[in-house]
Structure formats: structure tokens, C-alpha cells
């Protein structure tokens, strides 16, 4: 069980896309995922991180905001499951959506 950080390093308000250092993160059951906003990314806040319609919930602790956005992947996620989620983020009061992925591998 590891902590797997994802840094938001940039943003595009024309497309809603975010620059992430791991846009398709590979993780394992029990891993903690930690989203961090780089100060020069152009992102003011992350409003919510949620699964997309049709995607199965993979969280024992759903992503929530503390000092950083953090969630913990539960045990029992199907092997090689690709979790499709979205990040709602804001810049200058305007909200945008971005759709990255997390690929969950079996526990080590």
C-alpha cells in the first residue's frame, strides 16, 4: 500500500483539460491517491473528484478535500480495472471538467 501523488501542473480553460504528471495512473488496492495543485498550474481549486457514469466505485475512502484531495482504493477491485473519473476544477470562478483514468492492478 503506497501513496501515489498526482500533481496538477497546468490547465487549459479553452478545453477544460488539466496537465497531470500521471494522467493514467497505475495503482493497487489499498493505495492512497493524493491530488496536488501546483501553484503555477492556473487551477484555483478542485471542486469534486467523482466517477463517471458507468464506472464502478473503487474507493474505501472517497476522494475528499483536506489539505489536498485524497482517496483510498478499496480491496476487491477487479483485476486490471480501468476507473474513469472526472475532476471538476475552477479558475476565476468558472468551472471546468477533465476526465483522467486510474488503472487498478491486483494487490501485491
Residue range 3-105 in CATH 3.40.50.300: no
Q: Which pLDDT does position 20 carry in this prediction?
A: 94
Q: Which pLDDT does position 68 carry in this prediction?
A: 82
Q: Which pLDDT does position 78 carry in this prediction?
A: 83
Q: Which pLDDT does position 34 carry in this prediction?
A: 95
Give residue-wise pLDDT tens across range 55-66: 889 999 999 996
Task: List, as one string, the DSSP characters of the chain.
Answer: --EEEEEEEEE-TTT--EEES-TEEEEETTPEEEEEE-TTSS--EEEEEEEPTTPPP-EEEEEEESSSEEEEEPTTPPTTEEEEEEEEEEETTEEEEE--EEEEEPP-
Q: Which pLDDT does position 95 carry in this prediction?
A: 97
Q: Which pLDDT does position 24 carry in this prediction?
A: 84
Low-confidence spans in the chain with pLDDT less than 70: 66-67, 106-108
Amino acid at each position: 500500500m503506497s501513496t501515489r501523488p498526482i500533481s496538477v501542473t497546468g490547465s487549459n480553460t479553452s478545453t477544460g483539460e488539466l496537465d497531470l504528471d500521471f494522467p493514467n495512473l497505475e495503482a493497487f488496492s489499498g493505495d492512497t491517491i493524493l491530488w496536488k495543485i501546483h501553484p503555477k498550474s492556473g487551477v484555483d481549486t478542485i471542486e469534486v473528484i467523482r466517477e463517471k457514469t458507468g464506472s464502478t466505485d473503487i474507493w474505501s475512502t472517497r476522494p475528499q478535500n483536506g489539505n489536498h484531495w485524497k482517496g483510498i482504493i478499496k480491496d476487491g477491485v477487479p483485476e486490471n480495472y480501468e476507473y474513469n473519473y472526472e475532476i471538476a476544477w475552477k479558475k476565476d470562478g468558472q468551472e471546468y471538467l477533465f476526465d483522467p483514468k486510474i488503472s487498478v492492478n491486483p494487490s501485491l
